[in-house]
Amino acid sequence: MVRYQTQLKFPLPRKRDHDIVPKRSNISSKYLDSIILGDCLDILQDMPDNFVDLVVTSPPYADRRSKVYGGVKPRDYVGWFLPISDQILKVLKPTGSFVLNIKEIAVNGERLTYVIELILQMRNQGWLWTEEYIWHKRNCYPGKWPNRFRDAWERCLHFTKGKDFSMYQEEVMVPMGDWSQSRLKNLSETDKIRDNSKVDSGFGKNVSNWIGRDKVYPTNVLHLATECGNKNHSAAFPVSLPSWFIKLLTKEGDIVLDPFIGSGTTAVACKSLNRHFIGIDINAAYVDLATKRVKSKMEKGRECNE
């Protein structure tokens, strides 16, 4: 197999003294911040054990995107995925997490069962099924059928290697409900603009603290819209989704792996949040697109859709 590796040269985040469990040798650091072309099964087999802090991915769904990917049949799906999840188990640190975004399709009026069978089989493999988050898609695909409504949710299955894993809950706290919103609405437009600019320049901290006091822990239901109208890339996976889990489950400088990187959404999220990424994809056009998108991200700074 042709192994085409794109090594992007990004400045490493500031050194911190609280890591490092495995010392980052030359062999292991070659993976950092790169989009790798190849079958993730092969790539993962060569990767060091206990190396990655978080795996977050949205694999091709059964019978979808068959032109780009192979088009895995529903009845082959579990058998196709289990060897991959086995390799993920190997490269993940003991305190790491695996977040799997997936949804079963409906065929002939019935939901197929390969996703829930996969959960059971991954438990046999050694995974802990820690939690199931719901991604509520505010703008779901339209359509009308006699026997069902539009499908507006997907699973974000959270697996870990053990009971004790890293979780930084404060990083994803959200503003409180109506009360704080009405309070913020009453700020004048100029105030908001000024305060925003202050935050960027490191000033205006008092305002963000004031806002921070009205924050509350989220639940296991995420309300995010898909990104549909973007011209360069149309990711089924909005940046905000991996961003949320990256903030929740890693700290700055950690390593995040996406074995089905697609258009590079997870890598873009990592760059915004000062985490290292490792992206893998079997499709050369996607590797190209993801590489370009991350480079553009580094040049232009923060993207709007984050």
Q: Which partner from the list a copy of itself, DNA, none does 175 bind, CB cut-off 5 to 8 Å by kind?
A: none
Q: Is 192 helix (H, G, I), strand (E, B) or coil?
A: helix
Q: Of these, 12, 20, 116, 187, which contacts a copy of itself (CB under 8 A)?
A: 116
Site string for a copy of itself, 201-240 (x = CB under 8 A): ----------------xxxxx-------------------
On whether the CB atoms of residues 51 and 30 are closer than 8 A, the answer is no
Distance CA 206, CA 165 (A): 33
Distance CA 294, CA 261 (A): 12
On whether the CB atoms of residues 284 and 38 are closer than 8 A, the answer is no
Q: Does 16 bind a copy of itself (CB under 8 A)?
A: no
Closest distance to DNA from the beta carbon of 29 (Å): 28
Q: Does 120 bind DNA (CB under 7 A)?
A: no
**Long-range contacts from 222-225, C-beta under 8 angstroms, 24+ separation:** 222/133, 222/134, 222/135, 222/136, 222/156, 223/136, 223/138, 224/135, 224/136, 224/137, 224/138, 225/137, 225/138, 225/139
Distance CA 106, CA 101 (A): 17
β 215-216/174-175 pair status = antiparallel
Q: Which partner from the list a copy of itself, DNA, none does 293 bind, CB cut-off 5 to 8 Å by kind?
A: none
Residues 246 to 285 in contact with DNA, rule: CB under 7 A: 260, 262
Closest distance to DNA from the beta carbon of 291 (Å): 18
Single out the segment in contact with a copy of itself by CB under 8 A; choices: 17-25, 123-131, 270-278, 284-292.
123-131
Residues 238 to 297 in contact with a copy of itself, rule: CB under 8 A: none
Q: Of these, 10, 74, 84, 183, which contacts DNA (CB under 7 A)?
A: 183
| Nearer of residues 24 and 137 to DNA, judged by Cβ | 137
Q: Does 65 bind DNA (CB under 7 A)?
A: yes
State how far Cα 149 lies from the chain centre.
27
Q: Which partner from the list DNA, a copy of itself, none does 112 bind, CB cut-off 5 to 8 Å by kind?
A: a copy of itself
Comparing C-alpha atoms, which of 245, 249, 288 is closest to residue 266?
245
Q: Which residues, other chains included, contact 235 with Cβ-Cβ below 8 Å and sequence gap of 6+? A: 227, 262, 263, 265
Q: Does 187 bind DNA (CB under 7 A)?
A: yes
Q: Is the dihedral of CA 273, 212, 223, 121 positive or negative?
A: positive
Closest distance to a copy of itself from the beta carbon of 295 (Å): 34
Q: Which partner from the list a copy of itself, DNA, none does 276 bind, CB cut-off 5 to 8 Å by kind?
A: none
Distance CA 72, CA 102 (A): 14
Q: Does 1 bind a copy of itself (CB under 8 A)?
A: yes
Q: Of these, 45, 66, 113, 196, which contacts a copy of itself (CB under 8 A)?
A: 113
Site residues (CB under 7 A) for DNA? Answer: 58-61, 64-65, 101-103, 105-109, 138-139, 141-148, 150-151, 154, 163, 176-180, 182-183, 186-187, 191, 206-207, 209, 216-217, 225-231, 234-237, 260, 262, 304-305
